[in-house]
């Protein structure tokens, strides 16, 4: 049996200590936006049912959350800032 996207999103974010916020835009444009830690990660609209728009926004956020988590992980890896190295041979940049 497939898990409900809203439940799955909340559970995933709870495990990773991330804040989830659904913004109800139904009255304005029949849509929902999903923010995780203040960053927009999902959106969906559906003109016939508010619940469907909510579920689709959660699914869209689940589809995109890997990008967000990947960026956070790489930015915080071992607490060491990234260092960019440039290779030089005979005063020419290596490719």
Q: What is the pLDDT of residues 61-86, one digit of tens each?
A: 999 998 877 766 555 444 444 434 44
- Report d(CA 46, CA 60) in Å as an integer: 13
Q: Which domains does the chain have, with CATH numbers?
A: 5-93 (3.30.160)
User: What pTM value is reported for the model?
Assistant: 0.72
Q: Read off the pLDDT of each residue in 40-61 and give the average, rounded to a whole number.
A: 96
> How many helices (H) and strands (E) in the chain?
3, 5
């Amino acid at each position: 049996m497939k898990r409900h996207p809203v439940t799955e999103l909340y559970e995933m974010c709870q495990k990773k200590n991330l804040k989830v916020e659904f913004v109800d835009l139904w009255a304005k444009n029949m849509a929902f936006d999903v923010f995780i830690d203040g960053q927009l990660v999902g959106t969906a609209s559906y003109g016939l049912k508010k619940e469907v728009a909510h579920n689709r926004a959660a699914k869209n956020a689940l589809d995109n959350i890997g990008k967000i988590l990947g960026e956070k992980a790489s930015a915080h890896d071992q607490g060491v800032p990234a260092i960019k190295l440039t290779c030089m041979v005979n005063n020419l940049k290596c490719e």
